Amino acid sequence: MVLLTMVLTKYALIESGYFTHTGILSNIQFLYLILSILFITAGGYVINDIYDIETDKINRSKKIIIGKRISEKKAFKYYISLTFIGIAIGFLLSINSYIFLCFVIPVILLFLYSKYLKRTPFVGNLTISFLISFVICLAYYFHFFFLYSYDYSLFDKPLRNVIYVYISFSFLTTLIREIIKDIEDIDGDLKIKAKTLPIVIGRKRASKVAFFFTGLLFVFLLVVLQFLKNEPIFLSYGIGCILLPLSYFIYKLWFAKSKKDFSILSNLMKLIMLLGILSMLLFRFIN
């Protein structure tokens, strides 16, 4: 999903020809950016699995790798190696220390999330939502940093507005899915005495929080589609491929009770996220 998001942001959205802008991020530089983020993300998955061994024994017993096929010590070496490679590539790509922080900060947040933040109510959910939406920021801003540095006034304003829409969509869908996953994983989290949102306020109230943000997402998408009423391709896709599945998600969420129900909802939200990101391809057809 991270790779697809970055590739579509650059080649389907920014370079669609629909917007007027000038950026000089070459294909090879973009490849370095992708590799850096993918290595850092992979490292984040490894360190997360290391600290999730006990909860995964309950929540995902059939999918456990660390502690079964790979030792915890070896997994930590993988984490160090993947993260180091990601930061090293990011360093080579960075033209100043501020841009280098774009690679260092996600590494720090991923570690803090795995060790501490995911066990605190709502903070962990917000952290992951920020990191996922940050991927779109990187693909966008790196496209221009090499030419414009920090003069945002030179950026194409319509493109910037569209990017903000996708960032908001990515943030909200991830936040909803993270809350749903916490509800789904409540049994394992209770074992390690984590303080996730459903543990602190209860499964039913946490479900209502997810329902609130889903309603917020629905209203946000309605507002966005209002601006696209003269673009039939976008309007049709938005209603048929995003709003309708989201409406079904809202319906299922309202009646969800069991672990299986929330597992289905988690996968459904992942599908909605994918369909939303794939909508970037439509900019190629309205040129």
Considering only residues 96 and 270, tell me which one the structure prediction assigns the higher pLDDT.
270
CA-to-CA distance for 109 and 157, rounded, in angstroms?
Answer: 30
Per-residue pLDDT reduced to its tens digit, 225-244? 998 888 899 999 999 999 99
Q: Are 279 and 243 in contact (CB under 8 A)?
A: no
Q: HEC states along 153-204?
A: HHCCHHHHHHHHHHHHHHHHHHHHHHHHHHHHCHHHHHHCCCCCHHHHHCHH
Which band of pLDDT confidence, cut at 50, 70 and 90, is reported for residue 267?
very high
3-state secondary structure at position 20: coil
The DSSP output letter for 70 is B
The whole-chain average pLDDT of the chain stands at: 89
Q: What is the CATH number of domain 2-13+23-284?
A: 1.10.600
- Cα separations in angstroms, 140 against 118, 222, 231, 282: 28, 24, 23, 18
**Quick one: what percent of the chain has pLDDT higher than 70?**
91
**What gap in Å lies between CA 125 and CA 173, rounded to an integer?**
11
Q: Report how far residue 111's alpha carbon sits from residue 12's, in angstroms, rounded to the nearest whole number.
A: 32
Q: What is the pLDDT of residues 11-35, one digit of tens each?
A: 888 887 666 665 567 889 899 999 9
At 188-226, the pLDDT tens digits run 888 778 899 999 999 999 999 999 999 999 999 999 999
Query: Where does the pLDDT of residue 151 fall: very low under 50, low under 70, confident under 90, or very high at 90 and above?
Result: low
pTM, 2 dp: 0.91
Say if residue 171's pLDDT is above 80.
yes
Does pLDDT of 148 surpass 80?
no
Q: How many whole angstroms separate alpha carbon 78 and alpha carbon 10? A: 30
The per-residue pLDDT for 228 is: 86
Q: Which range (3-7, 92-96, 281-285) has the least confidence? A: 92-96
Q: What pLDDT, on the 0 to 100 scale, is given for residue 177?
A: 97
The predicted model gives 231-259 an average pLDDT of 95
pLDDT in tens, 44-100: 999 998 888 877 777 766 677 887 788 889 999 999 999 999 999 999 888 777 788
Strand partners, 66: 70
Predicted pLDDT of residue 211: 97
Between 134-138, 142-146, 154-158, 208-212, the lowest mean confidence (pLDDT) is in 154-158
